[in-house]
Chains A and B, each alone.
Chain A
Amino acid sequence: MRGHPWKGALVLVLVAAGLGAGSSSASAAPVAVSLCAVPGTATMAGGASVPIWGFAATCANPGLPGPVLTATVGDTVTVTVTNALPAGHDVTFEVPGIDFAAGPDSAPPGGTVTRTFTASAPGTYLYQSGGDAGRQVAMGLYGALIVRPATAGQAYPSADSAYDVEAPLVLSAIDPAFNAAPETFDLHSYRATYWLINGKSYPDTAPGITAAGGQRLLLRYLNAGYDNTTMSLLGMHARVVARDARPVDGDAEVAAETIPAGATEDVIATVPAGAGPSSHGFPLYNRQQHVTNGDQTGVSPAPASGGGMLIFIHH
């Protein structure tokens, strides 16, 4: 398992046994990982506890998002998913962009499904459960799958994807009213009030992402939310190296970039040596101003916002 360079509890990192960045295509071997879709709770910024359905390595204490899975190109990966959801909710394990070997894709409650694929193309992939027409994703059944190229320290085979520090950033949203009643909630009235990066909203995204001046920071965006999300990065541009796990021709330098719902995008920023605009560092935040934690009932001039999808990059 590769050491993760960001500090603290930014993300629930649980790399499955047998998978890891240390492997290479030369040593590719059949590897196996287990996931369990299971009800649990997540604590929102401000302390509210919200019911979730999430993935976990064992059928307890699911994370939001699920564990980060990593594989190396050439690996044959077998994912066994156990369904510990309530009755009536089949789990369908899917990873857009990954072709699984033929076989069942769903597990009934109490059952398991095993899906196998060969990690053929490096990149950032979003895994999720396709069950219940999106309600399972909205409840939290999503996570990141990273397929690494043979060359360590790169996101893709191309040398211009080399990086010093990486951070997967799973973007999502929560409407607590939906989570309280996922089976009966009228989705026409869905109105998210928590906006999450790796399951947390600011200030719980602290201490953020640590990178020294001059280091190349790889941000792997995965949009598990329901809307196209534009992230604004203050104090630096980032170079778009891939979208949906495919390298792009002619890298664009961006300061505000839209990640469509369900899509992934990899960008690399060289962290400036100087100070960021904030005493916390360089803000990376949802430019659609989804920076709230729960309902806002304030009266101006009290602040309406100051949480949500915001994280700081700092030296």
Chain B
Amino acid sequence: MRFTAVLLLVVTLCLASPGRANAIPADAPPTGMVCTPGAVSGATHTFDLVAETGYIDTPDGNSVFMWSYGEAGGHFQSPGPVLCVTQGQTVVVNLTNNLPEPASIVFPGQDAPVTASGGAAGLLTTEAAASGGTVQYSFVAGSPGTYLYESGSDIAKQIEMGLYGALIVRPAAGPALAYGTSTAFDPSREYLLLLSEIDSDLHHAVETGTAYDVNARRDRYFAVNGREFPDTIQDNGSGLLPNQPYGALVRIQPTTPTTAPALIRMINVGALNHPFHPHGNHTTQIAQDGRLLPVPTEHFGETIASGQTVDFLLRWDDQDNWDPTTKPLPVPPPNYRDVFFKDANTWYGGSPYLGHKGILPSGVVTQNICGEWYFPWHSHALNEFTNYDQGFGGMATLLRVDPPGGCFAAPATATPLGSVLKSGTVAGLAADDTTYYAVNPRTTTRPTATTTAQTSITVASATGFPAAPGYYARIDNEVVRVTAGAGTTTWTVQRGQLGTTAATHASGAVVTALATDFTAGFTGVPAGSQHLKVTYKGANCATTTAATCTALTTNLPQQTVKICDWTVGGAAGCSTATSAGWVTLPAPPAQPQGVGSTDVGATWTLPASAQYISAGQVKVLVHTERYTSPSPAAFSTWGNLLALTYDAP
């Protein structure tokens, strides 16, 4: 999405900047609002800010000279730091002005007196002198809400040049409320969308000391959180944009009975009023200028006026509940215009089903990970939907709707491992339905008759039996344990195991493994995915031959589902059913589980995920064994559903 030349320029600027490599903490989440910590001492919350110059990058390769507030001693950033405070705290902002003219800060919407010390009286507020002057502002944070702070000096130039930022006042009741109890939201889904515009000619004139006329402004760049689309959807702290740390991608999952809505805090620091609208969705406006509205209002598009703040709650309901199994087509598919973004460069997944990918229209290239949906969210003043008059770009971001619970993946491959395919294909594992992927234990034959005392036996083939000794096999109704010769056709065995009795067996007797194993491979799982969850549902049936599952309700086969840890031995570490790379999925639920002829389903969650993803692959093993007497009879294993869900990066 960005070009090498831009990247090189970014690196150059980065090296030229003092302090940290980025303006936000390294552990900041990739999306969502990022607060600048400041320093808290008792009931006082202090921020040391500096007004300084720097550059931002635009998606068309331009570099624009900016003025901005930043953390003292920190990295240049645009817009200024997000100051998050708590209602009732005394907020102290120390401003050092490194600009060549007096500068200041006003705090619109703070109705308690803002006391200034140091500095000199200016028109709108007390100012810090040019080139190193300081001033201190302090005030008691008032009602909870979304506010801005900005220059109160020569505002037609200084605000345009970038002297602005967000001030968030959280209620004393806690960070999960925007205002009162009617405004509960999910703190992990708190988003800031700060709108601004840039007339690059004015910035050039300020940089070079040439004449300009603020009445002749013609804005060329239109930003959300200081970035223009498509940079807006890059992560917070993206190394591509070291001076523009704040991303603007909004991520949400469909509403469930326990879901709290996302909170969208919008601020317009620009001079123009911006009509901002999300495609395909309504948002609920709850507040303006840091004050709850008497009555919340639903909006498909809302004009955020210059200097205003507006807060929205956002829920996403899959109103048509498309589901390929339970509610298949025909249902009205989503309007392509709502989910396309740009021809041939789209995030459309090719399927009307959230969480599923489908067949793309001809000529369309997708960046869609797992059938998630992307809705444009942009200024509907379409001249602002551009980067220097070229569309699409500018004041736009995306609303990303992730599938419920995360991305869903069905296996791409299924392979018997130490067993034989009974029926079905990998497609049988894709959904919880009536199609199954069924395997039987591996079998071979004894070429010769067997005596009761014989401990060395030959088999027609060892293929599919374990390569390492210590496993069990059944001959007729006797269980033997292979202690040596595994992997060859001559086995050393212990007779009459697991409560059975050594017996004679005729030539040609069938030798059957007492376990079934199959693996399923997932592909296309992005590196960096989090919260891997494996879901397996299936049954074990009493015979290896019946076309339907015959009842098996006692002495249940024991099932263990494992995942490949690629760091143990790479692909070879998971090449056989007993290879060292297989890791039993951690409880809950505990394993092994007894699974009979009624489907049993379970989901295991992995606390850490990186070692289970290699080149997009995740591999799972389903191992089932039934060794114990009195019923060593062979069984078949029927897989119904094997699924992977994860939070894509």
A residues near B (Cβ < 8 Å) are 191-193, 228, 230, 232-237, 249-258, 272, 274-280, 283, 285, 287-292, 295-306, 310
Are A230 and B307 in contact, with the CB atoms below 8 A?
A: yes
Q: How many angstroms between the C-alpha atoms of A298 and B214 in the bound complex?
A: 10
Question: Within residues 110 to 137 of chain B, which ones have a CB less than 8 A from any CB in chain A?
Answer: 110-114, 116, 121-126, 130
26 A-B Cβ contacts within 8 A?
A: A191-B216, A192-B215, A234-B152, A235-B110, A250-B294, A252-B288, A252-B293, A253-B291, A255-B290, A255-B307, A256-B289, A256-B307, A258-B303, A272-B111, A277-B116, A278-B123, A278-B152, A287-B305, A289-B155, A290-B156, A291-B155, A299-B212, A300-B101, A300-B212, A302-B101, A304-B214
Are A299 and B211 in contact, with the CB atoms below 8 A?
A: yes
Q: How many angstroms between the C-alpha atoms of A37 and B320 in the bound complex?
A: 62
Query: What is the minimal beta-carbon distance from A234 to any residue of chain B, in angstroms?
Result: 6
Are B307 and A304 in contact, with the CB atoms below 8 A?
A: no
Contacts A234-B106, A279-B121 hold; do A301 and B291 have CB atoms under 8 A apart?
A: no
Which of chain A's residues have a CB closer than 8 A to the CB of B213? 295-297
The main secondary structure of chain B at its interface with chain A is loop
Are A287 and B307 in contact, with the CB atoms below 8 A?
A: yes
Which of chain A's residues have a CB closer than 8 A to the CB of B305? 228, 230, 256-258, 287
Contacts A289-B271, A300-B157, A301-B100 hold; do A252 and B291 have CB atoms under 8 A apart?
A: yes
Q: How many angstroms between the C-alpha atoms of A232 and B305 in the bound complex?
A: 10
Are A234 and B157 in contact, with the CB atoms below 8 A?
A: no
Are A304 and B111 in contact, with the CB atoms below 8 A?
A: no
Which of chain A's residues have a CB closer than 8 A to the CB of B303? 258
Query: What is the minimal beta-carbon distance from B9 to any residue of chain A, in angstroms?
Result: 24
Judge if B235 is at the interface, Cβ distance under 8 Å: no
Which of chain A's residues have a CB closer than 8 A to the CB of B154? 303-306
A230 contacts which of B100, B107, B206, B306 (Cβ < 8 Å)? B306
CB-CB nearest 10 A-B residue pairs: A250-B294, A301-B101, A287-B307, A305-B156, A274-B113, A256-B307, A253-B291, A255-B289, A289-B156, A258-B305
Are A296 and B273 in contact, with the CB atoms below 8 A?
A: no
| Residue of A with least CB distance to B270 | A288
Are B293 and A250 in contact, with the CB atoms below 8 A?
A: yes
B111 contacts which of A191, A235, A254 (Cβ < 8 Å)? A235
Which of chain B's residues have a CB closer than 8 A to the CB of A250? 293-295
Are B123 and A280 in contact, with the CB atoms below 8 A?
A: yes
Judge if B108 is at the interface, Cβ distance under 8 Å: yes
Are A277 and B124 in contact, with the CB atoms below 8 A?
A: yes
Are B209 and A299 in contact, with the CB atoms below 8 A?
A: yes
Judge if B210 is at the interface, Cβ distance under 8 Å: yes
Which of chain B's residues have a CB closer than 8 A to the CB of A235? 110-111, 113-114
Which of chain B's residues have a CB closer than 8 A to the CB of A299? 205, 209-212
| Residue of B with least CB distance to A277 | B125
Contacts A277-B125, A289-B271, A291-B156 hold; do A304 and B113 have CB atoms under 8 A apart?
A: no
Q: Mark interface residues in B82-115 (1 if CB within 8 Å of A CB, else 0).
A: 0000000000000000011100001111111110
Looking at B125, B159, B216, B290, the one whose CB has the most chain A CB atoms below 10 A away is B125
| Residue of A with least CB distance to B291 | A253
Which of chain B's residues have a CB closer than 8 A to the CB of A288? 271-273, 306
Q: How many angstroms between the C-alpha atoms of A252 and B291 in the bound complex?
A: 8
Are B294 and A234 in contact, with the CB atoms below 8 A?
A: no
Query: What is the minimal beta-carbon distance from B292 to any residue of chain A, in angstroms?
Result: 8
| Residue of B with least CB distance to A280 | B123
Given contacts A272-B111, A288-B273, 12 further A-B contacts (CB under 8 A): A193-B215, A235-B110, A235-B111, A250-B295, A255-B290, A277-B116, A278-B121, A278-B125, A289-B214, A300-B157, A301-B99, A306-B123
B114 contacts which of A277, A290, A304 (Cβ < 8 Å)? A277
Contacts A254-B288, A274-B113, A304-B212 hold; do A230 and B273 have CB atoms under 8 A apart?
A: yes
Query: What is the minimal beta-carbon distance from B64 to any residue of chain A, in angstroms?
Result: 15
Are B294 and A252 in contact, with the CB atoms below 8 A?
A: yes
Q: How many angstroms between the C-alpha atoms of A234 and B125 in the bound complex?
A: 10
Contacts A237-B289, A253-B291, A305-B214 hold; do A292 and B156 have CB atoms under 8 A apart?
A: yes
Q: How many angstroms between the C-alpha atoms of A305 and B126 in the bound complex?
A: 16
B157 contacts which of A252, A274, A304 (Cβ < 8 Å)? A304
B155 contacts which of A192, A251, A305 (Cβ < 8 Å)? A305
Are B294 and A300 in contact, with the CB atoms below 8 A?
A: no
Query: What is the minimal beta-carbon distance from B487 to any residue of chain A, in angstroms?
Result: 78
Looking at B111, B126, B273, B290, the one whose CB has the most chain A CB atoms below 10 A away is B111
Judge if B519 is at the interface, Cβ distance under 8 Å: no
Which of chain B's residues have a CB closer than 8 A to the CB of A297? 211, 213
Contacts A230-B305, A255-B108, A256-B306 hold; do A272 and B113 have CB atoms under 8 A apart?
A: yes
Judge if B308 is at the interface, Cβ distance under 8 Å: yes
Q: How many angstroms between the C-alpha atoms of A54 and B34 in the bound complex?
A: 53
Are B291 and A256 in contact, with the CB atoms below 8 A?
A: no
Q: How many angstroms between the C-alpha atoms of A301 and B205 in the bound complex?
A: 10
Q: How many angstroms between the C-alpha atoms of A279 and B130 in the bound complex?
A: 20
Which of chain A's residues have a CB closer than 8 A to the CB of B214? 289, 292, 296, 304-305
Q: How many angstroms between the C-alpha atoms of A287 and B291 in the bound complex?
A: 19
Looking at A191, A306, A310, the one whose CB has the most chain B CB atoms below 10 A away is A306
| Residue of B with least CB distance to A235 | B111
| Residue of A with least CB distance to B125 | A277
Query: What is the minimal beta-carbon distance from A245 to any residue of chain B, in angstroms?
Result: 20
Query: What is the minimal beta-carbon distance from B263 to any residue of chain A, in angstroms?
Result: 19
Judge if B160 is at the interface, Cβ distance under 8 Å: yes
Query: What is the minimal beta-carbon distance from B149 to any residue of chain A, in angstroms?
Result: 11
Q: How many angstroms between the C-alpha atoms of A264 and B252 in the bound complex?
A: 39
Q: How many angstroms between the C-alpha atoms of A199 and B212 in the bound complex?
A: 26
Q: How many angstroms between the C-alpha atoms of A305 and B160 in the bound complex?
A: 12
Query: What is the minimal beta-carbon distance from A164 to any residue of chain B, in angstroms?
Result: 18
Q: How many angstroms between the C-alpha atoms of A178 and B214 in the bound complex?
A: 19
Query: What is the minimal beta-carbon distance from B123 to any residue of chain A, in angstroms?
Result: 6
B289 contacts which of A254, A275, A306 (Cβ < 8 Å)? A254
| Residue of B with least CB distance to A193 | B215
Q: How many angstroms between the C-alpha atoms of A296 and B206 in the bound complex?
A: 13
Q: How many angstroms between the C-alpha atoms of A130 and B214 in the bound complex?
A: 31
Which of chain A's residues have a CB closer than 8 A to the CB of B153? 303
Q: How many angstroms between the C-alpha atoms of A193 and B214 in the bound complex?
A: 9
Q: How many angstroms between the C-alpha atoms of A283 and B295 in the bound complex?
A: 29
Q: How many angstroms between the C-alpha atoms of A249 and B297 in the bound complex?
A: 13
Q: How many angstroms between the C-alpha atoms of A90 and B214 in the bound complex?
A: 36
Q: How many angstroms between the C-alpha atoms of A289 and B212 in the bound complex?
A: 15
Query: What is the minimal beta-carbon distance from B206 to any residue of chain A, in angstroms?
Result: 4
Contacts A274-B112, A275-B113, A299-B209 hold; do A234 and B273 have CB atoms under 8 A apart?
A: no
Which of chain B's residues have a CB closer than 8 A to the CB of A272? 111-113
B124 contacts which of A249, A278, A298, A301 (Cβ < 8 Å)? A278
Question: Within residues 213 to 267 of chain B, which ones have a CB less than 8 A from any CB in chain A?
Answer: 213-216
Query: What is the minimal beta-carbon distance from B260 to any residue of chain A, in angstroms?
Result: 25
Q: How many angstroms between the C-alpha atoms of A299 and B109 in the bound complex?
A: 32
Are A295 and B289 in contact, with the CB atoms below 8 A?
A: no
Q: How many angstroms between the C-alpha atoms of A236 and B106 in the bound complex?
A: 12
Which of chain B's residues have a CB closer than 8 A to the CB of A305? 154-157, 214
Query: What is the minimal beta-carbon distance from A217 to any residue of chain B, in angstroms?
Result: 14
Which of chain B's residues have a CB closer than 8 A to the CB of A291? 155-156
Q: How many angstroms between the C-alpha atoms of A280 and B106 in the bound complex?
A: 14
Contacts A288-B271, A292-B156, A305-B155 hold; do A256 and B308 have CB atoms under 8 A apart?
A: yes
Which of chain A's residues have a CB closer than 8 A to the CB of B205? 299-300
Are B106 and A296 in contact, with the CB atoms below 8 A?
A: no
Which of chain B's residues have a CB closer than 8 A to the CB of A228? 273, 305
Which of chain A's residues have a CB closer than 8 A to the CB of B101? 300-303
Which of chain B's residues have a CB closer than 8 A to the CB of A258? 273, 303, 305-306, 308
Query: What is the minimal beta-carbon distance from A50 to any residue of chain B, in angstroms?
Result: 15
Query: What is the minimal beta-carbon distance from B53 to any residue of chain A, in angstroms?
Result: 11
Query: What is the minimal beta-carbon distance from B408 to any residue of chain A, in angstroms?
Result: 43
Q: How many angstroms between the C-alpha atoms of A108 and B185 in the bound complex?
A: 63
| Residue of A with least CB distance to B122 | A278
| Residue of A with least CB distance to B269 | A287
| Residue of A with least CB distance to B123 | A306
